[in-house]
Amino acid sequence: MRLHEFISANIEAILKEWQDFARANQPPGGNMNEVELRDHAKELLTNIVRDMTSAQTEPEREAKSQGNAPTSGADTPAEEHADERLGAGFSIRLLVAEYRALRASVLRLWFDGAAPPHKKDADEVEDLIRFNEAIDKALAESVARYSEAVTENSDIFIGMLGHDLRSPLQVLSFGAAKLKNMEDAGNSLNQLGSTMIASVQRMKEMLDNLMDFTETRIGEGLSIRRSRTDLAAIIHQLIEEFRSAHSENTFKQVITGDCSGNWDAIRIGQICQNLISNALQHGAPMGEVVVSCEGLDDKVILTVKSDGEPILESLQQNIFHLAHRKHYAKENLNKNLGLGLYIVKELVTAHNGKVSVESTQSKGTTFKVELPKTAS
């Protein structure tokens, strides 16, 4: 039996070994289901079989060996697999190991009795060459995509930091200008000084936490330090900061019920800040931002509402995820929508919560966060 025929006939056994390898090596805390573990494996094998059976000239073989094989322009299963594994927290070492395990599994099963005895003839040698070429091509595509994504994610993290630091810097700039022109300090000076100190503290927290977000991309996960936290107090402080720097906007806070829970106060502050910053950046100029907090028996619901142009429906399900920003889709003019929303998603997930968005022309845009009051 030719190798490509063997792969087609025994694809389920091969997929089972792929799945077992991925399950044994998934990142700490991973609980991937069968579909996630087998991610794109069947499409990869189908592509390998197609590659092995397609006609190939000597110049084409030479070009392929040098990594210059022609491309269709569409994403290959290997590239999509790299995106998904990066999103799941797999390191590039584990990504490469998957291909090494796939290569070893196919050849072992082929030689180990899953196929009838066969002699080492020209066809077998050709099959081995073509199979290894196809595996190497898929591996190269995955590694290239993974590396590109890591590089872009690094740029995104820098952008996130600049994005999140902008608001407290505006507060400091506004406060410094006011202090310079202030003849009679009085109580207003004390109040302004307190606001500026709070802004400086938030900037320090963002810098301290930058490494935490890097860890989310290499599978370590975010560290959460839970303590009794009052979300209403955090909202009040943040709105005062934003009001000082954005006098052209109107801010409204609506608090009902007990809005305290067992959370990481710094992380919860980041969630609120990013949602308010996003509302100011993408909402109507000089519009109103309404921040609501509703305390229920077992959870607290935070909403941030703004007016303005609605988020496209096609983007609403993906704006929280880096993997769906399509770093290769240069024509996507909306790819920077809500730069801080990825941070929000990671922090809400770390608190076992949920985040969603509803955006229409008539009702405006509302981001909703549900936070369990206690850790599960």
User: What residue segments make up the domains of the chain, in order of their start?
Assistant: 3-154, 222-372
**pLDDT recorded at residue 338:** 43
Report pLDDT for 193.
Answer: 65
Instruction: Going from the first residue of the chain to its last (376 residues), give the mean pLDDT of each consecutive group of 10, the final group possibly shorter.
Output: 86 88 75 78 88 80 62 79 82 88 87 57 79 87 86 68 68 69 59 65 61 54 85 94 84 97 93 89 91 97 95 81 48 43 86 94 95 88
pLDDT of residue 210: 61
pLDDT at 358: 94
Domain 222-372 has CATH 3.40.50.300: no
pLDDT at residue 114 in the model: 46
Q: What CATH number was assigned to the domain covering residues 3-154?
A: 1.10.490
Between the CA atoms of 194, 199, 202 and 204, what dihedral angle is there, to the nearest 10 degrees? -100
Any bridge partners for residue 250, and if so which? 288
Amino acid 331: pLDDT: 38
Identify the pLDDT of residue 2: 84
Residues 6+ apart with CB under 8 A from 228: 260, 261, 262
* Entry pTM: 0.54
Res 251: pLDDT: 96
